[in-house]
Amino acid sequence: MSGRELAVLIVSYRRADLLDRALRSVEKHLPDSPVHVWDNASSGSDEVRALATSWPRVRWTFSESNLGYIAAMNRLAAQCPEADMLHLNPDAELIGPLTAARAALAQPRVAAVSPTVLDPEGRERPWDVAHREQSVLRNLLNAAGYAKQLRDHPRLAGLSDLYPSAPHDVDGYMAGCCLLISRDAWTALGPFDERFFVYGEDATWQPAARRAGWTLKLVDDDGPQVRHTAAGTQTGDPGASQRGVDLLRAAQVMALGNTGNRGPGTVFSLGAAVLDRVQRSKRTDRRRRREAQTEQAAGRPGVVVTTNQLTLGGAERQRVLLANALVDRGHPVTLVCLQGLGLYTAELDPRVRLAFVPWWQPTVEVAGEDAVVVGGVTNTEVAFARAWRALGRVTGQRRRWMPATHDPARLDRPTYSGAVASLLRSADALLVLSAQHHVDLTRHQALTDVVMAAPNGIPAAAARPFRATGTGPVRFAMLSRIVEYKNPLLLIDALVATGRDDWTLDIFGDGPDKARLEARTPDAVRDRVRWHGQVSGPDAAFAETDVLCVPSDFEAFPLVMVEAMTRGVPVMASASGTVPEMLDHGVAGVVVSPATVETWAAALTAALVDRDRLAALGAAGRERALAHYTDAAMADAYQRALARLFDRPIPGAPDGRAEML
């Protein structure tokens, strides 16, 4: 045995009863091991919090949001930096002390060890946690359901990703329901790849370990040491189960490789789409699901929402909010990621289908006689949307393309290349953020003639009281991706130019220019300017904020402004794009024009002198946001646009059709 401590790490989700069973099994078989539990915010978190009182020796972490399994496990690994790790699923149960597995982990150059696992339903063999090296063919045969038959074939066993008998050294990867990981290997290789949300970490980290000269071992004592019911945390929730299927396919694409919309992963994606259409069982399931969704839609058009990825960003979050709002109103909705997933995956309503495909595979389905693809105007989204619309002629579905541009307009030259502008002129309709946004976009180039406005929106939030009413410093803040054009240094220089010392500035966010810009902070104000890096959400930043500042003069519709306004946090922003309209031209916030040190210094001085006006602007901003910029208002605008696009009423939608700009 290794002299290093073995820490048990569990990421909890939904099922407190299963977690309690897992903890009891650890207490019985590994009584000396420290236990760390990370609860990813879910419908079962209240029950898990109640359970925590029964387990005082466990170190509990309750996340404010669902980070996904992989990011959460990385956080747990950081909590025990000197220990080897046992990654244990909450729906797994130890039935032995893992003696052989722990001994194997102590051997030189062993990265990971798994015991054999007992499936109480008898569908899996105890060594089926071990998989051969991934390939497009093996993954497709597994997706088709042939892996188990092939592994026992005398000549074709090598085509299966499963082993015909229990291996000792594993050449692919081992499933992570009960996986022991060496701290030495973890330190050498780094943590799991957080581009994956759930699934895929085992199929990428372990092969990377083998390529670096480490080994993977499957071991046993007298029998299986673990009992595991697959997808136990999803039992009784069809939405969570389907989301699990969607995420597994996405993980397979990324694990095989999809760089630049090319690679083995994209071949697998196309092959899996073909299987869905030609394999009888899958074809039947598709038809039944589509028929059920069409009946449930009751005449509402299907909606395909596109995004390149779901990493943190205003446009990406808006796509998720739109998908959630429309599915909640009865539309069949599929969100298509063209390049990758991200943290916003956790915020996607489980009723929304999630597809991860390259742009050249417009095979995504959505129910309904009428359907529309809505997304941005990046090259990949435009290419996907046009091809998807064209395939409607084959499927018999009446399809439309309605891009929704959130791009800040360039006032001195065309915003889009000539090729993209030409393609946009072929769209069935174009959604812009406001009338002014449309004026700015078309200042130097023509776009499609059918144009409607649909501002972004977010869920309403509770108001925060304005606290800077006394004589203490006013806490100004920025919350954005840190790139130079966001003008953080302009804001710092303007605060210095006020000649006052009754202020602080907190800058929240990360980005490629952060280190360089932070280093240029004047020495005289380093005690009052704090660069915090990424935060878990807007409320974490607004808890330290009296006034939000948006000094960039190149914005279309800063969603962070709405996040502040809906909470009653007063906003000061440079005049750009839709910003003046959002702030009701100064009635619901401070509009600074032009974006110079001098104009910002004057506006900041006025704010510091008249704090009562700041409080009133915060209240006015909240009133305006709740009236115009909620997710409900956004869904109303999109449904009115759909009514005009398809020239018919949309069941359950607000009266009327969107006005043309």
Long-range (24+ apart) CB contacts under 8 A made by 99-103 are 99/221, 100/219, 100/220, 100/221, 100/225, 101/180, 101/219, 101/225, 102/1, 102/2, 102/6, 102/180, 103/1, 103/219
CA atoms within 13 A on the CB side of 397: 25
Q: Closest Cα to residue 625, out of 560, 552, 538, 574?
A: 560
* Contact indicator for 533, 521 with CB cutoff of 8 Å: no
What pLDDT is recorded for position 198? 82
Helix axes 238-256 and 136-143, enclosed angle (nearest 10):
160
Percent of the chain scoring above 90 in pLDDT: 78
Secondary structure tally for the chain: helices H, strands E = 23, 25
Q: Tell me the pLDDT tens digit for each residue of 591-636.
A: 999 999 999 999 999 999 999 999 999 999 999 999 999 999 999 9
Residues 6+ away with beta carbon under 8 Å from 378: 308
Q: Which residue has the tokens 């309904």?
A: 368
Q: What is the chain's mean pLDDT, rounded?
A: 92
Give the helix, strand, coil percentages of the chain, each rounded to 5.
40, 15, 40
Which tops the pLDDT comparison, 362 or 121? Answer: 362
CB atoms under 10 Å from CB of 9, counted, come to 25
* Contact indicator for 89, 176 with CB cutoff of 8 Å: yes
What does the DSSP assignment read for 485-520? Answer: GG-HHHHHHHHHHTT--SEEEEEE---TTHHHHHHT
Q: Tell me the pLDDT tens digit for each residue of 233-276.
A: 445 555 667 888 899 999 999 999 888 888 999 999 999 999 99
Q: Tell me the pLDDT tens digit for each residue of 10-64.
A: 999 878 999 999 999 999 999 999 999 999 887 788 899 999 999 999 999 998 8
Q: Tell me the pLDDT tens digit for each residue of 90-126.
A: 999 999 999 999 999 999 999 999 999 999 888 899 9
What pLDDT is recorded for position 593? 95
> Environment class of residue 617 by beta-carbon count within 10 Å: exposed (0-12), middle (13-18) or buried (19+)?
buried
CB atoms under 10 Å from CB of 471, counted, come to 7
Residues 6+ away with beta carbon under 8 Å from 399: 370, 371, 372, 373, 388, 389, 391, 392
168 pairs with which residues across the strands? none
Structural domains of the chain sorted by starting position, each given as residue range(s) with its CATH number in brackets:
6-127+166-234 (3.90.550.10), 238-423 (no CATH), 474-628 (3.40.50.2000)
- Can you tell me the distance from the alpha carbon of 318 to that of 264, in angstroms, rounded to the nearest whole number? 31
What is the residue type of 623?
Answer: E
- Can you tell me the distance from the alpha carbon of 8 to that of 76, in angstroms, rounded to the nearest whole number? 9
**CA dihedral over 648, 654, 656, 661, signed as positive or negative:** negative
Query: 36 φ, ψ to 5°?
Result: -120, 125
Given a cut of 80, whether residue 536 has pLDDT beyond it is no
Residues 6+ away with beta carbon under 8 Å from 659: 452, 453
Q: Closest Cα to residue 249, out of 316, 331, 185, 341?
A: 341
- Can you tell me the distance from the alpha carbon of 554 to that of 557, in angstroms, rounded to the nearest whole number? 10
Rounded to two decimals, what is the model's pTM? 0.87
- Can you tell me the distance from the alpha carbon of 650 to that of 181, in angstroms, rounded to the nearest whole number? 54
What pLDDT is recorded for position 65? 79
* Contact indicator for 529, 521 with CB cutoff of 8 Å: yes
Considering only CA atoms, give the Rg of the chain. Answer: 27
